[in-house]
Structure formats: C-alpha cells, structure tokens
Structure 1
Amino acid sequence: MKAFKLVHWGQPGQYVDIPKPKPGPNDVLIRMRAAGLCRSDLDMLDSQPGSAPYAESVDSNYVLGHENAGYVAELGANVTDLAVGEAVVVHHMPHCGNCRPCTDGMENHCQAFKRGAIATGRGCGGDGGLAEFLVAPRTEVISVGFEVDPVDYAPLTDAAVTAYHAVQTAVQRLKPGTSAAIIGIGGLGTYGVQFVKLLSAAQVYAVDTSEERLKVAREVGADSAILFREGGADGGADGQKAGDEIMELTRGRGVDVIIDFVGSSSTLQLAARISRARGRIVQVGMHPGGALEVGWGRLATSCEFAISLGSTRQDLREVCELARQGKLRIDVQKFGFDQIPEAYEKLRRGS
C-alpha cells in the first residue's frame, strides 16, 4: 500500500510502498479517510539525528500521521462491538493499561510509551495514518457512527482534544467573574477558546501575533483580542504593551487561568506577568528553547504552573460528542494524498 514516511531525520518525507497491515485478535484495521497534519510533524521532519526531543528518543523510518479517522475495514477475532463500514477515530496516544498512570485513568502519561519529554505512538516512532490503512488496538478506537463523514473528526483527535484536556485541568477555577487567557490562536488555541466558552462563564482574552487569527478568536467566542509581538526573551515593548492591556482589562487583578499554546520564552513571560494569585498557568506549546524562570516576584503568589500533555480517551469521546451536537466550529482544508508535501509546506508557512 502507499504511505508517506519520515525515512531519515532532517530530510523531507517520502512516498513509499509498504505491506498492508494485518489486525491481530484485539485490533481494528481502518481504511483511512483523513489524517490531520500537525506542527509537531514539521518538528519531527526538521529534527537532526540525535536532537531533542524526537530524534534522541525514537528511531526514524515510520509513517507520519497521528490525527486519524476512517472506516472499519476488518475486525480482529475478539472485537465484537464494531462493524465493518463504521466511522471511527483513533486516540493519538497509545497506552499499556497496566502502569500506574493508566490504572489511575491518566493514560496520556503511560510510562510504557514515554520517551523523555514526549510520548511515542502512531505517527511518532510508530506507523501512523498517512497511508491507505492503519491498524490500532480496539481500546484506542472510538466510533463516531455510520452517518458521519469522519474527515471533520480527524483534527479533533489531537488538536482539539489536546486543547480540551488542557482546559479541563483548570476549568474548575473558572467560575462566573473569572477570566482565562488563551495564548496562541492556531489550530489548538482556536479550540481552546471554544472549550473555555462551552465549559465556563469566564471572560476569555485571546492573544496572538496575527490580526487575522485574533479575528477568528472573536468569531469563536473570545471576549477580547490582544495583539502580541515577540521581541526577545521578555517579549519586548510590544509584549509589555500586551501585558499592560490585559492587566487593565482585569483592573489589575490578573488572569485566573492562562493556557499557553505557544510555549516560547516570551509567551511564558507574558503568562507569568498577567498571572493572578492562586491562579494557574498551563503550558501546552513546545516552542524550541521556551522556558520560564520562576521565583518570588516572577509570578503571582500561589500561582500554579503545569505542563499539559496530550489527552485521555474519555476526553476524545467528549470532544466527538460536542462535535456531533454541532457545538464546535471545525475548520478543515482538504488535500489529496498526492498533495501531502504541498500541505506540509502551507502548514510551515502558516497558511
């Protein structure tokens, strides 16, 4: 079958012919309908041999694609609760089911698939969905029904559900009268704005370097849009201006929950500056070299800092249900299988 592989670190992906996979007794063979492309795919393709976090953790020569949706093509002998032709999505984080995080219901932190700062899986160390067929364990496959075209559900399996999980780690703080800042209104941040508005009564401040993306943020529910220009480690004068604007909007109190989908040093510095006492900063973005120096006077007292990794299967079920109910705006640009390099180049250019 045809597939698109990361064959060697630091080189463009390649079209290859590989054997069609066969499902084991507890597996599902999926005829692929769509695979979402992710910024982390570019980070993998750009990785030089031995570099962090990908090339130092996993071997190259795997099929890309970790946002996967399609139709059941074949069922393993022990799989009795799905049917051929049923539309399904695949959770993007494999899990063992046996380690402490798995048994605690936090399979996104599964120790069996953790390699340093990343979690390995389909499209990241293992064969993903940029191919004609994909095999996945039944435990990681979620049905979205028979009447659904799964194309729109592909980006939900990582971009949306990762944002959902990050919001869920802090949503209990977002009571009426509170506020949330979403930094970075890209593929994840757009969903982040929507989930905060769906799950809470908080005021939402959207922060980005692009006026166009801030316009989208308002369209999906942001109450305020703040333009931010990165200018060095502390964000420069424009970073100072963005922080001043947010502090003025909150009357000097700061923001209760800040979710940073960029993760650069300047966006993290902005997050610390606008933090509120007993608030929470959640870092999702993995901008190379991004770091925050913490200590007395560097962020609000008792403000928590957390790094949010991936999602759980239950998160994905809930996100798919919100989509089924028509509560999510899902922006999809379609490319044919023979246009994968073109699609990645557009992703690289931010277009």
Structure 2
Amino acid sequence: MKAALLHDYDPAMNVQLALEEVKPPTINRPDDVIVKVGAAGLCRTDLHIIEGVWKNIMDTEGSLLPYIMGHENAGWVEDVGSGVTSVKPGDAVICHPHRSCGICLNCRYGHDMHCSDSLFPGLGLDGGFADYFITNERALIKLNPNVTPLEVAPMADAGITAYRAARRAAALLRPGAYCVMVGIGGLGHIALQSLQAISGCRTIAVDREPAAQALAKELGADFVLDGGPDVVEQVHEITGGGAQVVLDFVGELGVENVCWKMMCQGGQMFVIGYGGAVEVPTVDLVVQEINIGGSLVGNFTELVELMELHADGKVRMHYTEYKLDDINVAIDDFKNRRFAGRGVLVP
C-alpha cells in the first residue's frame, strides 16, 4: 500500500514526508479492525510531531522512525478480527483516535482518552496517512447513511477536542453570558458551532486571519475581532468587564498570555492549543479568582454526540481536500495558514 512516512524530526520543519510502498497492516488480535482510509485529517499535532515536540514523550530513543502519522481517520471496514461483532467489512466508520482497552478504571468511567493502556495510531504507531490502517473495535462508530468519511474525518480528533471544550464551557455559561474563542481554525470553528448548538451564551470569535474572520461571521458568531493589540480592551468593553469563559485554541506565540486577561472575575479559561507557556501573576489568580485548565481530546460518547450534531446539520466541518500524493503541499499550506478550517487527505 502507499503511505507517507516520517523519517526524521526537524524543529525547522524543513523535512518532508516520503511517499513509499509499504506492507499493509494485518489482523493480530481478535478485536483488531483494518480500515480502508477514506479521509485523514491534518492536525497541528502533526506539525508538532515533525518538529520533534512529542519525541521525548512517545519516542525517547528514536526507534519509532520511520512511521506513518495520521490520527484523524474515517473510512470503510476492510477486515475484522475473530472477536469483532459490531462492525463488518464495508461499513463506513469514523475512528476515535485512542485504541482504548475497555477494562482499566478510566475506561470503566468512560474516560477513553485517559486509558492507562491505550494505543494512539498516528501518534507513536502507524496511523492513517496511508491506504489502510489498523485500530480496534472499541474505537469505531458507524456513520449515518447520509454521511461520508470525507465530511467527518477531522472530527475524530479536532472535532471532539473542540466539542469537549465547548461542552465543558456550556456547563458554565448561562444564557446571556459570554464565551471568547481565540483561533477560529480547524478546532475553533467546530467549537463555535457546537457551543451555539448546546448553549444560549453569546460568542466572541478572535482571529488575525481575514479568512477565519469571514468563516466566524458565516457561522454566526455574535462578535468577530481581529486580535489586534487592543483585543483585551475590546472584549472587556463588549462584555462589560470580561468573559465568563475563554477557549484558547492557539496556546502559543504569546496568545496564551493575552487570553487569560480577557476573563471576568471568577472566569474560566480552557487551554486547548499548546506549545507556549502560560504566565500569570499569583496576585491576579487570587484577586480575580480566575481558573485556568487544559482540555484534552474528547471521549467516545462525545464523538457519538458530535456525529449526531453533524447528521442533524448543526455542526459541519469546513475543509480543504488534498490527495495523499500532495501531503507535503498540504503541510506547507497548513503551516502557512493558506486555508481556513481543516486540511483533509484522501488516498
């Protein structure tokens, strides 16, 4: 099969993925499922993997290289292990990024993303930038008959990461309260739609890119700001003292130390993007009584909920399609923000 392989880490991002012919995956365990990739989303985490940000977490000795990235996958079941009963060859599926075990305590609580024995295709082992990849039965959700893999592949990670953040925000937001979303890209535009579907709050979208601003307006954000030097003052003026919740989908480049200043007293900031360092004087934490926390990828049931919102037309993925052969063009376009929303690779 054809696959895009990463051979070296490069902080300068000058390295390119190599398109090669490799052996397709084979069934090894009763719960294994081989998926024919219909589409695979391109994620900022993929850029961080190439940069080597994840090397000390998943590959301390460099022994994984070369390997196939791609952790936002949807397609059709190709083959199944002897113990698989819920899907069959030909079924259209979206794949939760974690191959969770189902028996650890975190899994029993429904926290698939905290599974103590999980595997993560595309992040530490071969993923979906290929014709086929292998996962397990627990990771699969059958798609609604009117939904195609191309429409939803990035929702497997970007979508449920955004949805989880929006769901956590919605629990804190009464009708009329304000939520600021910084970065209306692949995650932010999903969070905006999700929050509008499940909450009565008012939304403020912030992004420096005109295309992202246009997308936020198209998707119905109540206010759209360009992220200029007076953005904090703009937010405080709109909200009358700061937002109840701020969702930071950037998490680096200094943005993370602007976002917390947008909160009102007692506000909550969720950091979803990463790469930088949040620096808050302790006096502000105490006097303003603000809260700052991270938000990880969503669990299996959150992906089910997101698929229902998509099937009902309430959340859609804005994407740009690339052939797998053009993966390095897609990476360069993504890195340089030449498209709004998400990049999707199609074998």
The normalised TM-score by structure 1 is 0.88
Amino acid at match of 1:2: K
C-alpha distance 55-135 of structure 1, shift in aligned 2 (>3 A): closer
Tell me whether 1:243 sits opposite 2:248 in the alignment.
no
Which of 283, 297, 305 is 2:284 aligned to? 297
User: Residue 243 of structure 2 aligns with which residue?
Assistant: 255
Long gaps (5+) in structure 2 = 339-347
Instruction: Give the distance between the partners of 2:148 and 2:110, measured in 1 at CA.
Output: 30
How far apart are residue 51 of structure 1 and its match?
5.5
The CA distance in 2 between the partners of 1:273 and 1:144, in whole Å, is 41
Q: Cα RMSD (Å) of the superposition? A: 2.0
Shift of residue 332, structure 1, vs aligned partner: 2.1
Pairing of 1:270-309 with structure 2 (within 5 A)? 270-287=258-275, 289-297=276-284, 301-309=288-296
Is 1:330 paired with 2:317? yes
Q: Does the C-alpha gap of structure 1 residues 299 and 33 become closer, same or farther in structure 2, counting only changes over 3 Å?
A: farther
Q: 1:348 aligns with which of 314, 335, 342?
A: 335
Change in 2 beyond 3 A, CA 1:300/1:167:
farther
Question: Is the aligned partner of 1:161 residue 2:164?
Answer: no
Residues 265/2 of structure 1: CA separation in 2 closer, same or farther (3 Å cut): closer
Which residue identity lines up with residue 258 of structure 2 in the other structure?
L
Count of aligned pairs between the two proteins: 332
Change (3 A) 1:14 1:135: same
Q: CA deviation at 1:123?
A: 0.7
Structure 1: runs of 5 or more not aligned: 114-119, 230-237
Residue by residue, what CA displacement relative to the aligned partner does 1:184-217 show, whole Å, maximum 9, x if unpaired?
A: 1111111111111111111101111123311211
1: CA distance between counterparts of 2:49 and 2:283?
36
Q: Distance in 1 between matches of 2:181 and 2:243?
A: 10
Correspondence list, 1:134-213, <5 A: 134-213=133-212
Match of 1:38 among 33, 43, 50: 43
Give the superposition deviation at 1:142.
0.8
- Do the aligned partners of 1:265 and 1:292 also contact (CA within 8 Å) in 2? no
Q: Distance in 2 between matches of 1:125 and 1:67?
A: 14
1:147, CA displacement in angstroms?
A: 4.4
Q: Work out whether residues 86 and 137 of structure 2, in 8 Å CA contact, stay in contact via their aligned partners in 1.
A: no
- 1:81, distance to aligned residue in structure 2 (A): 2.2
The corresponding residue for 1:91 is 96
Indicate conservation of the 8 Å contact 2:144/2:311, yes or no: no
Match in the other structure for 1:316:
303
Paired residue for 1:107? 112
The aligned counterpart of 1:76 is 81
Q: Is the 8 A contact 1:284 1:309 kept in 2?
A: yes
Q: SS in structure 2 opposite 1:257? A: strand
User: How far is 1:55 from its partner?
Assistant: 5.2
Change (3 A) 1:180 1:83: same
